[in-house]
Structure 1
Amino acid sequence: MRLGVLDIGSNTGHLLVVDAHGGAAPLPAYSYKQPLRLAEHLDESGAVTQTGIDLLTEFTAEALLVAEDKGCEEMLSFATSAVRDAVNSEEVLDHVLARTGEHIAVLSGEDEARLTFLAVRRWFGWSSGRLAVFDIGGGSLEIAGGTDERPDVAWSLPLGAARLARFFADRPDEAAIRRLRKEIRAEIARDAGHLLRAGTPHRAAATSKTFRSLGRICGAAPSADGQLVPRTLPLGALREWIPKLVAMSPEELAELPGVSANRTHQIVPGALVAEACMDIFDLSELEICPWALREGVILERLDSFSVTD
């Protein structure tokens, strides 16, 4: 069947059209996305601004038309941390429903981590043994680990690259870098024992645009080489790059491989979060997984078909 997956993230609204059936990998058929930057369309009270609401509503209406044109039989629509954490989340989603007729579900941070873990487990398979997964989104960082398809531990932290970028100057001084670095590491370390007490993972993986961009900067193969090419983000290379990234202007950052112009302000905060994850969990590198939350949502839906059948 053909499914439409509408992912309202903190950075981007993304409709992924896939051809899917049980026992097969979801096959992308079409992709439609727009930069919404909802994590940056928040007022001082933590509410999504009217501008953000209008952008989301307009994108949802457009995505529904695209899905209809592409022959989608079903829509799976969900929102993550920017909407989840907004003080007016119900008002935002009620507005979208009234204007478009589409109900967008809000995923909890734990569910976001769990579904991403499922996607990574299916991608790498059972031979990965004890698996640890890290996902830096726009609004939050998800961490999960375990030996099965459902993680033993899964949690979410307010350490998304876009969220942190709101409080971070384009050319931060050494004191600002150190202060942010300290805050990030304290937040991650607070619950690190959830994952560490099970022992060193046999495989550690990362998903998301931020990790992919950092991997590309550190020498990973370009996306044009295809999904099946192994890609890693080595801690040593990332540490060498962070001072260079801090010193670069937004224009210079935009010229780096894998970095889009509308995300240049997120690269340094994202790099500090990635470095902290590897350092605190004693990982020399992370393997970049091309599957993430959207694929996890699709796979869970396909699993529900098989149970029903």
Structure 2
Amino acid sequence: MRLGVIDIGSNTANLLIVDAHHGAKPLPAASHKAALRLSEHLADDGSVRADGVADLVDFVRQARHLAEEQGAEELLGFATSAIRESANGPAVLQALNDASGLDIQVLSGVDEARLTFLAARRWLGWSAGTLLLLDIGGGSLELGHGMDEGPDAAVSVPLGAGRVTRNLLPGDPPSPEVVREARKTIRATLAAEVRPIVRAGAADHAVGTSKTFRSLARLTGAAPSADGPYVRRVLNRDALGALVDRLARMPVSERVRQPGVSVERAPQVLAGALVAEAAMDLLRLDTLEICPWALREGVILRRLEHLAG
């Protein structure tokens, strides 16, 4: 069947259309995205402002129209931390559902971790053994650990690249003192939340998903996306430490000229690097393999399971 998924994140809204059936690899057929930057459309009380809601409504209408043009038999929708944590999240969700005729769901942070873990497991297979998953989004960091298709331990920590940039890294570039304090806060926050993952024990394979990890791997020498999804890409902790030092000295105008860094992600790449570095340090990971599948693929795989059942 042809299936469409709308993903409303903190940085971007995405539509992915795939041809898929249970037991087969989903094959991308079409995609569309918009850099809505919801975190920049928040009022002082934490609610999404009217202009942000209007942009979202426009996107879901466009996404539904495109999905229909592409022959999608079903269109799913989900939102993550930006809507989940906004003061007017239920009202925003209702506006989106009214405009699209869909039933867009808000995922919890643990749901995000579980679905992303499923996607990574399916991509890497059983031979990867026990998996440790890290995923940095705009609003949160998700972690999962387990030997099955679902993690035995799953954690969501409010350390997304957009959130950290907004709350902890003012300045362009931020001063060394600001970066030092941000690093301290990130590590204290993560250390307080990561205990379930640490207690789960050693993993056979550590993986990172999301655009942030892909960008960091590219910045440290991994193959470009043009080489395709089957090229093995890794992020090395030592190389990441050196990258953090470089990024901390760069204004956004210079970051955007680096390989693998888009205009939308340039303001947040330092925050993502600081979070990734802290997680790898605290979890004693020398290397992360980059997995091209993440949350959207996990949602698709779970839906196919339900249809088959």
TM (normalized to structure 2)? 0.97
Does the 8 Å contact 2:17/2:31 carry over to 1?
Answer: yes
Output one character per residue of 1:163-216: Cα deviation in whole Å (capped at 9) or x when no partner: 111132221111111111111111111132211122211100000000000000
Secondary structure of the residue aligned to 1:268 is: helix
The 5 A counterparts of 1:53-202 are 53-167=53-167, 168=169, 169-202=171-204
Q: CA deviation at 1:303?
A: 1.1
Output one character per residue of 1:114-170: Cα deviation in whole Å (capped at 9) or x when no partner: 000000011111111111000000111101111111100111111111111113222
The 5 A counterparts of 1:37-48 are 37-48=37-48
Deviates more, 1:238-247 or 1:160-169: 160-169
The whole-number CA distance in structure 2 between the counterparts of 1:262 and 1:170 is 15
**2:308: which partner in 1?**
306
Matched, 1:35 2:35: yes
- 244, 247, 250: which one aligns with 2:249: 247
Structure 2: gaps spanning 5 or more residues: none
**2:298: which partner in 1?**
296
The 5 A counterparts of 1:199-278 are 199-278=201-280
What percent identity do the matched residue pairs reach?
54
Does the 8 Å contact 2:157/2:193 carry over to 1?
Answer: no
Does the 8 Å contact 1:40/1:163 carry over to 2?
Answer: no
Amino acid at match of 1:304: H
Q: CA-atom RMSD, angstroms?
A: 0.9
The whole-number CA distance in structure 2 between the counterparts of 1:121 and 1:223 is 21
Does the 8 Å contact 1:46/1:87 carry over to 2?
Answer: yes
Q: CA deviation at 1:39?
A: 2.0
Secondary structure of the residue aligned to 1:145 is: strand
Does the 8 Å contact 1:40/1:162 carry over to 2?
Answer: no
Show structure 1 runs of 4+ deviating over 3 A: none
The whole-number CA distance in structure 2 between the counterparts of 1:182 and 1:44 is 26
Structure 1: gaps spanning 5 or more residues: none
